Structure 1
Amino acid sequence: MSTVTDPRKTPTTSPVPGQDGTSASGTRSPWTLVMQREIAVKLKDKSFIWGTVLTLVLLVAALILPTFLGGGAASYQVAVTDQTAAAVVAQAEATLQAEDDEASLTAETVADRAAAEQAVLAGDVDAALIGGPGEWELLSDGMPSLELDTVLSDTVRAQALAEQAEAAGMTLEELTAGSLLVPVDLSESEDGMPGFLQFLLGFVFAILFYMAALTFGLQIANSVVEEKQSRIVEILAAMIPVRQLLLGKVLGNTILAFGQIALIVAVALVALPLTGFDVALPGIAEALLWYLPFFVLGFLALACIWAAAGALASRTEDVQSTSMPLTMFLVVIFIAALNSSGMLRDVLSFVPVASTFVMPMRIVEGDTALWEPLLALVIVAIFCAGSIWLGAKLYERALLHTQGTLTWRAALGRKD
């Protein structure tokens, strides 16, 4: 005889969501749900979307507007009174076009010196070349253009040397042998990246990390305290392990920060050829490959601490005070990174978080051996693991504390 058991009277044991690493449906881990929620909420935030769009627009404008507003190729008109002066102007134009094939230098023939002076004063021409070999004059209304003055002076000097060489029975090369000064720009690296572009790229790397760490860090802290203030966190903590809640928040904001930075970098790389610096793309690409792991590890090293800063506060108004140590830390590191040099700069490139600012700068400048960024990454990875552990401890101890704001020292002294 079989016994039929009424299922309504049979106690069933269902796992608490999150205790076995799955959600209530048994298919998803709780932290993935939290992560997706963080991302979804932010992608629906109009201020976040429009802020990103505005950043991209300003970036593109900063890159390409100087190209279009730079005035285009040089164009000059010079009054002359004879064919000798016209020949000098024609030679000067050839010199200009050797550097910019769209540049122009046109000779306007006038009757005499008086007519040339009148044309200059009336603004019909930019300058007037009067006289002859050995007695040339450049007439202008005010100071002439430096480029125009330089190219005409160089042309007159070259023609005079050529005539002297011919009179001496020598070639121009023989006459000027040993008198030429060859300029060598040491600021330009082997990959074709000028020195000022190296500095600019290093500065952009630093400011991107600084802004991402500060902006998304405060967002993490505010998100934590809003849930805490509304008591939603008490419901979440009853259903989801606190560490999985923290993991979802941190990873969600890390993905958002990385995605925003990746979008900015992608747009910058697409717009860069329009600036004429596409020759530097190989060097920039190599620097980016090193920058990305430093960015991710540096951000993760701070993200859990930002979450702890939010957990220490009981109200949104308190976040500013609980996050002040982190904010000041970022400001000090950022300023030190930009102003360091020599041995201090080398040391900072191995110090966690500071290395995210300094090491990419050194890589861009070609000032590192392969082992240096690798060692810096290992050090920041170890520090990242430690900061995550510390941040998680503080987060757990302070999350359900609602009676006033906790200090960092008080949170460290609390028992689990």
Structure 2
Amino acid sequence: MSRSSGVWRIVAGREIVVKLRDRNFVISTVVTIVAIVASLAISGFLSSRPDRVEVAVLGADASVVLDAANGLTEGDDVSFSARVVADRAAVEHLVREDEVDVGLVPAEPDGWQLIGRNAENDNATTYLTAAVRQLTLERNAAAAGISLAELGRGATVTYDLLEPGAIDPGLSKIVAFVFAFLFYMASVLFGLSIAQSVVEEKQNRIVEILASAMPLRQLLIGKVAGNTVLAFIQLVLFVGAGLTGLAVTDRGAQLGQIAGAAGWFVVFFVVGFLALASLWAVAGALATRSEDLQSTSTPLTMFIMIVLFIGIFVTGTARVVASYVPITSIVAMPARLAEGTAAWWEPFVALALMGVATYGIVVLAEKIYRRSLMQTQGRLTMRQALALED
């Protein structure tokens, strides 16, 4: 084994130490973690707070309706409280001044009327209407000399879930968006860091000193490995923060399935980022000055944005196909796992395809990187770099 075969570990260690000493990186990571936990915790707190609907009522029977409605809301975090007034004008005044949420008054000949200011209160419409119907059925059943149970025989409706383990569609869309956003953020943040490091060393001629001390392949491996480790740690922290915040919401029952999908997302990202990091290093090597980096990195940035949009907007058969395509599978396959549409074996197949593609990309990127890194005459294209001799 060559004495320089393990030099990449020194390069990787330096990349990690430099990043961890970057105050902006550390602060932004901590702030993001706190923001994730806080936003989910606040969301859970707000969603778990009971919705107290204050109702201005007219007549003694209206209070009976509210009592029946409160009996129907058990377990739904909704409650109704009555403010008894003397006439309809008082009800309308309280509603118009936002002193109550809704008004409830008798309506001729024998019904009820809800009064709102400028929009319907969904809870009032749902529960007060149901309470009125229940009381009416009880009264009519008594008048007919039969029980309420006999009157309602045959009206029972049950709900059977075909996929009881799947998370609801709204939450699965949120999870897919989070996976796509984390992929984009980590890929660009750490990828640009690699590219900028490469072009700065090239512009300052430091790379010539490094090339005399180690093989360029070892330099590339070190940069890729160091930034991949950092990206992995940051993603684990972000995902852990998200799962912690989710645990305190009313979606905690679905935590297991989301956690499994999140674990696969981290694994897919690490394997795929090895390829992306190599391409970011190539973008830096093709440039001669920092000003060239925008041009050499544009194709890669556009590709990452395409993956972001696929993760957010693509559904159905297109998402199934994308979940097997290397790089796009980083966001598409975990999203399918979160929504429960992927079989247990599918992520293993997709990950194997990703591994093969990553190996091929890294081999090609290493060749371009090695041939272009020492060229300082001007910005290169990939075709020009491949045409150069080692």
Whether the TM-score (by the shorter chain) exceeds 0.5 is yes
Give the distance between the partners of 1:204 and 1:360, measured in 2 at CA.
Answer: 11
Give the distance between the partners of 2:112 and 2:211, measured in 1 at CA.
Answer: 89
Partner AA of 1:167 in structure 2: A
Q: Which moved more, 1:283-292 or 1:238-247?
A: 283-292
CA separation of 1:66 and 1:238: change in aligned 2, threshold 3 A: same
Find the residue that maps to 1:351 and give its secondary structure: coil
Larger Rg: 1
Alpha-carbon offset, residue 71 of structure 1: 9.7
Counterpart among 128, 131, 136 of residue 160 in structure 1: 136
Find the residue that maps to 2:104 and give its secondary structure: strand
CA separation of 1:267 and 1:123: change in aligned 2, threshold 3 A: closer
Alpha-carbon offset, residue 337 of structure 1: 4.1
Give the distance between the partners of 1:282 and 1:69, measured in 2 at CA.
Answer: 23
Give the distance between the partners of 1:306 and 1:367, measured in 2 at CA.
Answer: 33
Find the residue that maps to 2:83 and give its secondary structure: strand
- Report the counterpart of residue 188 of structure 2 in structure 1: 214
Find the residue that maps to 1:276 and give its secondary structure: coil
Give the distance between the partners of 1:305 and 1:114, measured in 2 at CA.
Answer: 73
- Report the counterpart of residue 104 of structure 1 in structure 2: 79
Q: Indicate whether 1:41 and 2:18 are aligned.
A: yes
Give the distance between the partners of 1:63 and 1:409, measured in 2 at CA.
Answer: 48
Deviations 1:147-191 (A, max 9, x none): 1232111111111112222333333233233445556677xx533
Partner AA of 2:69 in structure 1: A
- Report the counterpart of residue 15 of structure 1 in structure 2: none
CA separation of 1:121 and 1:55: change in aligned 2, threshold 3 A: closer
Q: Which moved more, 1:50-59 or 1:229-238?
A: 50-59
Which sections of structure 1, spanning at least 5 residues, go unmatched?
1-17, 23-28
Q: Indicate whether 1:343 and 2:328 are aligned.
A: no
CA contact (8 A) 1:193 1:279 kept: no
CA separation of 1:169 and 1:338: change in aligned 2, threshold 3 A: same
Partner AA of 2:276 in structure 1: L
- Report the counterpart of residue 52 of structure 1 in structure 2: 29
Give the distance between the partners of 2:212 and 2:219, measured in 1 at CA.
Answer: 11
Partner AA of 2:39 in structure 1: A
Alpha-carbon offset, residue 354 of structure 1: 1.3
Partner AA of 1:410 in structure 2: Q
Q: Indicate whether 1:311 and 2:311 are aligned.
A: no
CA separation of 1:353 and 1:277: change in aligned 2, threshold 3 A: same
Deviations 1:267-325 (A, max 9, x none): 11111122221111110121123222211111011111211111111111111111122
CA contact (8 A) 1:222 1:310 kept: yes
Give the distance between the partners of 1:123 and 1:329, measured in 2 at CA.
Answer: 52
Find the residue that maps to 1:275 and give its secondary structure: coil
Provide the identity percentage. Answer: 44
Give the distance between the partners of 2:231 and 2:268, measured in 1 at CA.
Answer: 13
CA contact (8 A) 2:167 2:339 kept: no
1:115-154 map, 5 Å: 116=91, 120=95, 124-131=99-106, 134-143=110-119, 145-154=121-130
- Report the counterpart of residue 253 of structure 1 in structure 2: 227
Counterpart among 186, 190, 193 of residue 164 in structure 2: 190
Partner AA of 2:3 in structure 1: D
Counterpart among 214, 218, 232 of residue 244 in structure 1: 218
Give the distance between the partners of 1:117 and 1:403, measured in 2 at CA.
Answer: 81
Which sections of structure 2, spanning at least 5 residues, go unmatched?
none
Give the distance between the partners of 2:318 and 2:116, measured in 1 at CA.
Answer: 52
CA separation of 1:289 and 1:273: change in aligned 2, threshold 3 A: closer
CA separation of 1:182 and 1:120: change in aligned 2, threshold 3 A: same
CA separation of 1:115 and 1:404: change in aligned 2, threshold 3 A: closer
Find the residue that maps to 1:403 and give its secondary structure: coil
Q: Indicate whether 1:226 and 2:200 are aligned.
A: yes
Deviations 1:6-49 (A, max 9, x none): xxxxxxxxxxxx94246xxxxxx311111111011111112212
CA contact (8 A) 1:214 1:327 kept: yes
- Report the counterpart of residue 321 of structure 1 in structure 2: 295
- Report the counterpart of residue 246 of structure 2 in structure 1: 272
CA contact (8 A) 1:191 1:282 kept: no
Q: Which moved more, 1:227-236 or 1:85-94?
A: 85-94
CA separation of 1:76 and 1:237: change in aligned 2, threshold 3 A: same
The two structures, once aligned, show a CA RMSD in angstroms of 2.6
CA separation of 1:241 and 1:108: change in aligned 2, threshold 3 A: same
Q: Indicate whether 1:371 and 2:371 are aligned.
A: no
Alpha-carbon offset, residue 72 of structure 1: 3.6
Find the residue that maps to 1:131 and give its secondary structure: strand
TM-score in terms of structure 2 length: 0.90
Give the distance between the partners of 1:114 and 1:250, measured in 2 at CA.
Answer: 74
CA contact (8 A) 1:284 1:364 kept: yes
- Report the counterpart of residue 20 of structure 1 in structure 2: 3
- Report the counterpart of residue 14 of structure 1 in structure 2: none
CA separation of 1:115 and 1:281: change in aligned 2, threshold 3 A: closer
CA separation of 1:283 and 1:318: change in aligned 2, threshold 3 A: same
Counterpart among 378, 383, 386 of residue 409 in structure 1: 383
Find the residue that maps to 2:200 and give its secondary structure: helix
Give the distance between the partners of 1:370 and 1:45, measured in 2 at CA.
Answer: 40
Find the residue that maps to 1:99 and give its secondary structure: coil
Give the distance between the partners of 1:377 and 1:71, measured in 2 at CA.
Answer: 39
Find the residue that maps to 1:137 and give its secondary structure: strand
Alpha-carbon offset, residue 78 of structure 1: 3.0
Alpha-carbon offset, residue 105 of structure 1: 1.9
Partner AA of 2:234 in structure 1: Q
Counterpart among 45, 60, 78 of residue 55 in structure 2: 78
CA contact (8 A) 1:117 1:139 kept: yes
